[in-house]
Amino acid sequence: MSIIKVENLIKKFNGIDAVNDISFEVDEGTIFGFLGPNGAGKTTTINILCTLLSPTSGSAFIAGHDCMKEPSEVRKAIGIVFQDTTLDKDLTAYENLIFHAYLYNVPKSRMRDRVDDALKFVDLYERKDDLVKKFSGGMKRRLEVARGLIHRPRVLFLDEPTLGLDPQSRTNLWEFIAELPEKHNVTIFMTTHYMEEAEVCGRIAIIDKGKIIAMGSPDELKNIIGGDIVYIKTTDNSAAKKEIERLFKLDVSEKEEELYITCTMGDTCIPEMIRMIGEKVI
């Protein structure tokens, strides 16, 4: 059963198509990935689905409610983690969640139990009385996910949730996100520009210049791309990039201090790569 349904959605800014006639559906209880480069239309789409922006034309429904005609009902059904941190850094983790619970009219009789449960789920209960400004980036992200779940939404939107995190924190966060549908009975709609992150999704839509150019499971899209995409971080990325291109004849690009490598079978090429160039740069 589809919990999100989008049909012929268009959004224009000054005559430019930010979202260009896209249609898709998301099944309840799944993780759906929206993959694309910066400026592709990912955040604009999320803003429309979250009732923060009106489309130029087309329709969007969340849990059977029209995003344009029933915004209050849609907002009750969703939670969201924005690209940028929106926590109050001068409040404790506990105070941040209590404040959010009040905003969403969580019954007072259940409020403390829900906040405690959410903090335990994201493994921050022992830090509940610490100010958020003392938290690491990964801890803040987990707290924002807990906040987004406090009112028991049916859909949780994650807009580039790993933005700015180091590779280890990014991996830990995605392992945590993968457990959400089963443990919290929630559908996840997330955006990213990392193909390897999208592998936690049951289905992925690739968007570029406002149009969906491919849609399917991670394996189906890998077949289209022609291999795995893996990333590594080295002490000298420029030297590592030259060595990998010279020794393995692979496509290598550098983004945000990491190397992105396209290869046929990542699980076999990476160990060989590390063996051959590890002593030099890794």
Q: So what's the pLDDT on residue 231?
A: 72
Q: What is the pTM of this model?
A: 0.77
Q: So what's the pLDDT on residue 140?
A: 93
Average pLDDT per run of 10 along the chain, which is 282 residues long? 96 95 97 90 95 97 98 96 90 97 93 93 94 93 92 93 79 84 92 78 93 89 68 80 79 75 68 66 50
Q: So what's the pLDDT on residue 228?
A: 66
Residues contacting 217, CB < 8 A, separation 6+: 202, 203, 204
Our CA angle for 101, 105, 108, nearest 5°, is: 75
In DSSP notation, 73-102 reads HHHHHEEEE-SS--S-TTSBHHHHHHHHHH
* CA distance readout (Å), 154 to 59, 78, 101, 110, 183: 19, 6, 16, 18, 12
Do the beta carbons of residue 237 and residue 257 sit within 8 Å?
Answer: yes
- Domains located in the chain, CATH noted: 2-220 (3.40.50.300), 227-281 (3.30.70)
User: What are the respective helix, strand and coil percentages of the chain, to the nearest 5?
Assistant: 40, 30, 30
Strands (DSSP E) found in 95-238? 155-159, 187-192, 203-208, 211-216, 228-232
